Amino acid sequence: MGDSAAQRVQAIRELMPATRAHVYLNTGTMGPLPRCVIEAMQERLQEEWQEGRLGSEAYAALLAHYQEARRRCAELLNAGTDEIALTDNTGEGLNIIAFGLNWREGDEVITTNHEHISALAPLYQIRERYGIRLRIADLGEGGERSAEEEIGRLITPRTRLIVISHVSFMTGARFDVRAVTALGRRHGLPVLVDGAQAAGAIAVDVEALDVDFYAFPMHKWLCGPDGTGGLYVRRTALSQVQSTYVGYYSLKHESSSDWELHETAQRFELGGRQTAALVGQSRVLRWLAEEVDHHWLQERIAMLNQAAAELLSQVPGVRVLTPRPGESGLLSFTFERAEPERVVQRLAKEHNVLIRSIPERQALRISTGFYNTEEELERVAAILRAWPEG
C-alpha cells in the first residue's frame, strides 16, 4: 500500500475509533460508526432538547429529514426517491414484501440454502399461516453453483415469489441477481433480494439488476445507526404488494379522502421513527459518497478480501469456503484445528480480534472493511498458524 493510500486509510480510521480499539473484522454483523454520524445525531438531539419538537417549523424540518434519508438511499441504489421506503432493518423490508402478497394454500416460494433467518422467518410464518410450500435451491456449500440454473429447476405453475440474497452471509458468495431477475421476468415472477451483505460493500444498481424488491440495512457495511434501513420497491411492482400495516406515514394527508395510501413506496412506512437516527443515516450516506468515495472503498474491500483468502489458504488446517474471493467483503473458511466458536472467543479475549462463526457451515467468517489493513489480516493468519494443538 502506497504512502498516500496508507495515509487515507489512517485518516479514515481516526474517524472510526472502533477500528483502532480492536482488530475490527466483523462488519458483516455490525459496522463501526464514523464521527460524522455521532455528531449529526447529537446535533439533532440537542436541537430537539433545546427547541422542542412541536410547531409547523419543527414538523417541516422533520419531514425534510425523512425525505433526505429516502433521497440518499435512492442515490445509493440508483433508484427513484419515490421507490424507497424507510425501514428499521433488512428484516422489516423482507417482511413487508413477503406478507404483502395474497397467498393461497399450495402456493410456492423458491429460496436458497444460503439465506439468513431474516429472510426465512417470514417465509416460515407464511407457511404456517397459509399453507404455502418452500422450495430450496441448493447452491452448493460455498455458493459456487449457478443460482439461475438451480432456481430454474424448481419453478412450477404454483411459484409466486423468488427470494435470494445478493451476497451469502454464510460464505460471501455473490449471486448473479440479474440472471435471476431475468429468469423471474420470463416466468412472470417477482424477485425479492436480501441486500444485507451487499449494500455498502459492492456496487448495487437496482436498475441494472432489474430487481423488483431490494431490502438493506444501514448498520452493517454502510456504517450507519442501528434501527435504520431501506426497502426499494420498483415502481412497476408497487401494485403487486399490499401494505400489511398502515399508519400516519402511509397516507396522503392532502387527499380529500379519509383513506388513500401514497402512490409511492412510502405507503409501506407505518409511523414516526427516531429522527436523530435518520439524520445519522443521511449523514453517513453523504460521507461514504462524497468524502470516502464508493468506487474507492469497494475496490479496497475486494482487494483486502482477496489478500485474506491468499493469506488464510496458506495456514495449515484452513479451507477457504468463499468460491470467488474479492466479489464481496465476506470471507468464510473452516479451521480443522479448533471448534469455530472457540476460535471466535479466544481471538476476542486473547488477541482483541473480532470475527464471527457461521454455525450453518461450521465455519469462521471475517469481514474486510475499507478501513481494515493488510497488517491486520496478516496478524489473524499468524495467530491461526501458531494455534496450539489440542
pLDDT of amino acid 4: 87
The predicted-structure confidence for 178-219, as pLDDT tens digits, reads as follows 999 999 999 999 999 999 999 999 999 999 999 999 999 999
**104: its cell numbers:** 393461497
User: Could you tell me the three cell numbers for 139?
Assistant: 447452491
289-316 exposure pattern, b = at least 16 Cβ within 10 A, e = fewer: eeebebeebbebbbebbbbbbebbeebe
Residues 6+ apart with CB under 8 A from 80: 74, 235
The pLDDT of residue 134 is 98
Q: What is the mean pLDDT of residues 305-328?
A: 98
CA nearest to 199, candidates 28, 372, 19: 28
Q: What is the DSSP letter of 291?
A: I
Smallest Cα–Cα separation from 97: which of 181, 2, 192?
A: 192
Which residue ranges does the chain devote to CATH 3.40.640.10?
Answer: 43-290
Tell me where in the chain the CATH 3.90.1150.10 domain(s) lie: 3-33+293-385
Tell me the CB-side half-sphere exposure of residue 188, using CA atoms within 13 A. Answer: 4
Say if strands 229-233 and 213-217 run parallel, antiparallel, or are unpaired: antiparallel
> Which DSSP string corresponds to 274-290?
-HHHHHHHHHHHHIIII
The yes-or-no verdict on residue 365 having pLDDT over 90 is yes
- For CA atoms 319, 321, 323, 325, the dihedral sign is negative
* Residue 113 φ then ψ, to 5°: -90, 20
pLDDT for 253: 83
Q: Is the pLDDT of residue 366 over 80?
A: yes
Place of cell 448498520: 219
Cβ contact 89:227 at 8 Å: yes
Residue 2's pLDDT band (cuts 50, 70, 90): low
Read off the C-alpha cell for 308: 485474506
In the predicted structure, residue 325 carries a pLDDT above the cut 90 = yes
Mean pLDDT of 361-382: 98
* Residue 1 clears pLDDT 70, i.e. is over it: no
Q: Check residue 259 and give its pLDDT.
A: 83
Full-prediction pTM beyond 0.95? yes
Burial of 282 (0-12, 13-18, 19+ CB in 10 A): buried
Topology of domain 43-290 in CATH is Aspartate Aminotransferase; domain 2 (3.40.640)
Residue 106: which residues within 8 A CB-CB, separation 6 or more?
Answer: 131, 132, 133, 158
Band of the pLDDT at 389, cuts 50, 70, 90?
A: confident
- 250-275: per-residue pLDDT in tens? 998 877 777 899 999 999 999 889 99
Instruction: Provide the pLDDT for residue 7.
Output: 94
108-112 and 159-165 strand pairing: parallel
**Beta carbons of 241 and 96 less than 8 angstroms apart:** yes
Residue 317: pLDDT above 70?
A: yes
Q: How does pLDDT run across 31-88, given as a tens digit for each residue?
A: 999 999 999 999 999 999 999 999 999 999 999 999 999 999 999 999 999 999 999 9
At the top level of CATH, the class of 3-33+293-385 is: alpha beta
Cα–Cα dist 218/228, whole Å: 6
Split at pLDDT 50, 70, 90, the class of 299 is very high
pLDDT value, residue 178: 98
Mean pLDDT of 226-243: 97
Q: How many helices (H) and strands (E) does the chain have?
A: 13, 13
The set of cell numbers assigned to 224 is: 450507519
pLDDT on residue 390: 61
Percentage with pLDDT > 90 across the chain: 95
Please provide the average confidence, as pLDDT, over all residues in the chain: 96
The stretch 7-26 carries a mean pLDDT of 97
* DSSP-derived 3-state class of residue 210: coil
Q: Which of 177, 216, 136, 137 is nearest to 327 (CA)?
A: 177
